């Protein structure tokens, strides 16, 4: 039995990745890969694998549960990014308000800080937009 | 302690009897015992493995939620409700998990 298990693992390792996009592999293989990607918060990869394996007849209920798990994680991450966006926007507003005070005119630091905050804000917004896209794709699979 | 003796002829006789029984069953019923049992065991292990993996992932999802240290059970439930409005199966899994956790804590 141990030998058989190792053999299956070797075959899966060798053929798994090249055949992954064909959708020809067993649903359980995709479920394991999706859960692995979900552990790493790689939502893009999970969406891709869910799309490839959407025709699953066997393990359909498990597939559906995993899809819901990905959707849930997507929402949790979106909420987290939303909180960060609000916090950064608040900081930017405070900095701008403080920057108008005369004794801060000749200080470089707040301007640098403002740049950092604006970059972070742009990144956070991009991440949230990506997650929104994934969420709508996941709903429509 | 009594010393246990292993008998090689006994093992061979046992193996031959087992083989004879398997061949007899295969001839009489057409059912391949060893392959059938291995398939059933393999499928069983496969099912257990994927279910355990899904369960682990469910636990990780709950742990990964943004829960404040002073949030109580009702607040967490409300949060789960908000996020799983259209995810009935997952919601059920979460509730079962939380119930089991509460029961374990009470015990």
Q: What is the DSSP string of A35-67?
A: HHHHHTT-HHHHHHHHHHTTT--TTHHHHHHHH
The answer on pLDDT for A87 being more than 70 is yes
Residues B59 and B72 in one domain: no
Within-domain flag for B40 = yes
Residues B71 and B52 in one domain: no
Q: Does B96 touch chain A (CB under 8 A)?
A: no
Per residue in A93-110, pLDDT (tens digit) is 888 887 666 656 566 566
What's the N-to-C CA distance of chain B in angstroms? Answer: 42
Domain range for residue B40?
32-64
Q: Please list, in sequence order, all residues whose beta carbon lies within 8 angstroms of the beta carbon of residue A25, skipping any fewer than 6 positions away.
A: A15, A16, A19
Does the structure's ipTM exceed the value 0.90? no
Cβ burial of B95 (10 Å; 0-12, 13-18, 19+) is: middle
Residues B77 and B45 in one domain: no
Work out the pLDDT band at A58, boundaries 50, 70, 90: confident
Tell me how far apart the alpha carbons of residues A87 and A121 are, in angstroms, rounded to a whole number: 9
Per residue in B58-92, pLDDT (tens digit) is 989 988 888 777 878 788 888 888 899 899 999 99
pTM: 0.73
The answer on pLDDT for A27 being more than 70 is yes
Between the alpha carbon of residue A93 and those of residues A29, A99, A125, B106, the distances in Å are 49, 10, 17, 48
Contact call for B54 and A31, based on CB within 8 A: yes
Per residue in B35-44, pLDDT (tens digit) is 666 666 666 6
Contact criterion met (CB below 8 Å) for A55 and A91: no
Q: Does A118 touch chain B (CB under 8 A)?
A: no
Residue from the list A59, A62, A69 with its beta carbon closest to the beta carbon of B90: A69
Within-domain flag for B48 = yes
Per-residue tokens: B75? 């607040």
**Tally of domains in chain B:** 2
pLDDT for residue A69 = 95
pLDDT for residue B9 = 82
Within-domain flag for B22 = no
Within-domain flag for B45 = yes
Tell me how far apart the alpha carbons of residues A107 and A74 are, in angstroms, rounded to a whole number: 41
- Could you give the angle at the alpha carbon of A38 between the alpha carbons of A35 and A40, nearest 5°? 120
pLDDT for residue A138 = 93
pLDDT mean across residues, chain A: 85
Residue from the list A4, A65, A76 with its beta carbon closest to the beta carbon of B66: A76
Q: How many helices (H) and strands (E) does chain A have?
A: 5, 0
Within-domain flag for B100 = yes
Tell me how far apart the alpha carbons of residues A83 and A50 are, in angstroms, rounded to a whole number: 28
Q: Does B85 touch chain A (CB under 8 A)?
A: no
Residues B56 and B88 in one domain: no
Per residue in B3-42, pLDDT (tens digit) is 667 788 888 888 888 888 877 777 777 666 666 666 666 6
pLDDT for residue A48 = 94
Residues B74 and B54 in one domain: no
Contact criterion met (CB below 8 Å) for A81 and B103: no
pLDDT for residue B4 = 67
Short-list A78, A76, A73, A68, CA closest to A38: A73
Contact call for A69 and B57, based on CB within 8 A: yes
pLDDT for residue A94 = 86
pLDDT for residue B16 = 83
Taking only Cα atoms into account, the Rg of chain B, rounded to an integer number of angstroms, comes to 26
Within-domain flag for B12 = no
Between A60-99 and A43-52, two packed helices, what is the crossing angle to 10 degrees?
Answer: 150
pLDDT for residue B75 = 84
Within-domain flag for B8 = no
**Higher-pLDDT residue of A14, A78:** A78
Residues B75 and B94 in one domain: yes
């Amino acid at each position: 039995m141990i030998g058989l298990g190792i053999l299956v693992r070797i075959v899966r390792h060798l053929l798994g990745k090249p055949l992954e996009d064909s959708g020809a592999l067993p649903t359980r293989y995709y479920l394991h890969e999706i859960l692995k990607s979900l552990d790493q918060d790689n939502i893009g990869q999970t969406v891709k694998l869910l799309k490839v394996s959407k025709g699953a007849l066997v393990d359909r209920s498990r597939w559906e549960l995993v899809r819901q798990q990905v959707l849930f994680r997507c929402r949790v991450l979106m909420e987290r990014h939303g909180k960060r966006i609000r916090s950064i926007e608040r900081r930017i507003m405070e900095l701008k308000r403080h920057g108008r005070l005369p004794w801060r005119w000749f200080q470089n630091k707040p301007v640098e800080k403002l740049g950092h905050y604006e970059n972070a804000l742009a990144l956070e917004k991009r991440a949230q937009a990506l997650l929104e896209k994934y969420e709508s794709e996941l709903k429509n699979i | 302690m009594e010393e246990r003796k292993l008998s090689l002829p006994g093992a061979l006789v046992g193996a031959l009897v087992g083989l004879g029984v398997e061949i007899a069953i295969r001839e009489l019923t057409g059912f391949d015992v060893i392959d059938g049992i291995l398939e059933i065991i393999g499928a069983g292990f496969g099912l257990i493995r994927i279910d355990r993996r899904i369960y682990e992932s469910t636990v990780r999802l709950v742990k990964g939620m943004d829960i404040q240290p002073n949030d109580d059970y009702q607040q967490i439930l409300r949060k789960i409700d908000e996020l799983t409005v259209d995810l009935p199966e997952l919601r059920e899994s979460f509730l079962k998990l939380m119930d089991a956790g509460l029961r374990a804590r009470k015990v």
